[in-house]
Amino acid sequence: MTIQRLSEITDNFGRARVLVLGDIMLDEYMYGSVERISPEAPVPVVDVSSSKILLGGAANVAANICSLGGEALLIGVVGEDEAAVKISQLLKSKNISDELLVTDLSRRSSIKTRIIAHSQQIVRADREDRHEVNPEVEKQILKKFLSVADEIQAVIISDYGKGVITLSLLEKLMTICLDRDIYVAVDPKETHFNNYKRVSIITPNHHEAGFAYGRRIQNEEDLLEVGNGLLNRLQAKSILITRGPDGMSLFTADSAPRHIPTFAKKVYDVTGAGDTVIAAFVVATCAGADPTEAAVISNTGAGITVGEIGTATVTVEQLRTELERNIKNGNVVAVAARASR
């Protein structure tokens, strides 16, 4: 990728109009320090000095799209509670409408509370319900989707396994998207993996991909078998397997696999990195990038995100600056994988 090509793609990020559908969460962070062990139990006592709340899950994907200059629509389910009010307020602060949210009186809004001391996460406490949405709620989700289906370029399914993405809903969504030629990207939950048939791109990490295929990824041979095997099994156009410090590997139906090395300089927190990956990949694709270019761009975005504590978004300016630096240093490469047997 050249700097000129980078500019051509990022200048068109504003063209992206993407619908995110999935599990919405509220991420709460409490920061402090540890100076003693509790006399009540052998656990650290955290003196909390500050806290903040951020959008999580599908809402963080939407926030990343907006941060990159695209337009995000968000469909998800919340309870009738204080957390839902906070989620709506945070969405509005990001210029994301809450009009497509569905309220389910049978469940709580998902809240994940992380306590962090000295840049390390001490514990996470989850308050949520994980049962599948009932047919009436599913019907409301589908109705909201149909109300905007003609206005979008792409759909991101952000599946955290909290009950919003049911097999019934997924089948109906895929039928609509295939009929209308809507680009479909999936951030998967491994237990639902085989349900994501004929999608445009799916972005599992190497643990999820190995679990779904039934082979642990320990070397390049394993990686190639899993990536190519899942590509064929799902009849997908492409699969992007994220591999932590080893970067990413892109498998597509019409070209050889490509490995993209990581651009991360420091890793403080991987929370939300997958949200950045899929958001940046889809925005870049909507802006005219080919799959390899989109993978390089999303890999760079993830490298920026993991350098911050907590769920984070990446701006187009940060992305451009980091990519330009890597291009000048000759670090932007996509290495062809060896042929698999």
* Residue numbers annotated as active site: 275
User: Is 170 within 8 Å of 29 (Cβ atoms)?
Assistant: no
Please choose, from the candidates 341, 327, 233, the residue with its C-alpha nearest in 3D space to the C-alpha of residue 9.
Answer: 327
CA distances from 19 to 10, 68, 96 (A): 19, 15, 11
Nearest partner of 287 among 316, 264, 258, judged by Cα? 316
Question: With the C-alpha atoms ordered 169, 172, 175, 181, is the resulting torsion angle positive or negative?
Answer: negative
Measured CA to CA in angstroms, residue 287 lies from 15, 280, 284 at distances of: 6, 10, 5
| Contact yes or no for 115/30 (Cβ under 8 A) | yes
> How many angstroms separate the CA atoms of 166 and 189, rounded?
11
The DSSP-derived string for 186-252 is EE--GGGGGG-TT-SEE--BHHHHHHHHT----SHHHHHHHHHHHHHHHT-SEEEEE-GGG-EEEEE
Which residue reads 């932590």 in tokens?
244
Residues in the chain: 341
Contacts of 105 (CB under 8 A, 6+ apart): 79, 80
Residues 6 or more apart whose CB falls under 8 angstroms from that of 39 comprise: none
DSSP 3-state of 170: helix
- From 29, 15, 81, select the one nearest 60 (Cα to Cα): 29
- List, in order, residues 6 or more apart from 121 with CB less than 8 Å away: 114, 115, 269
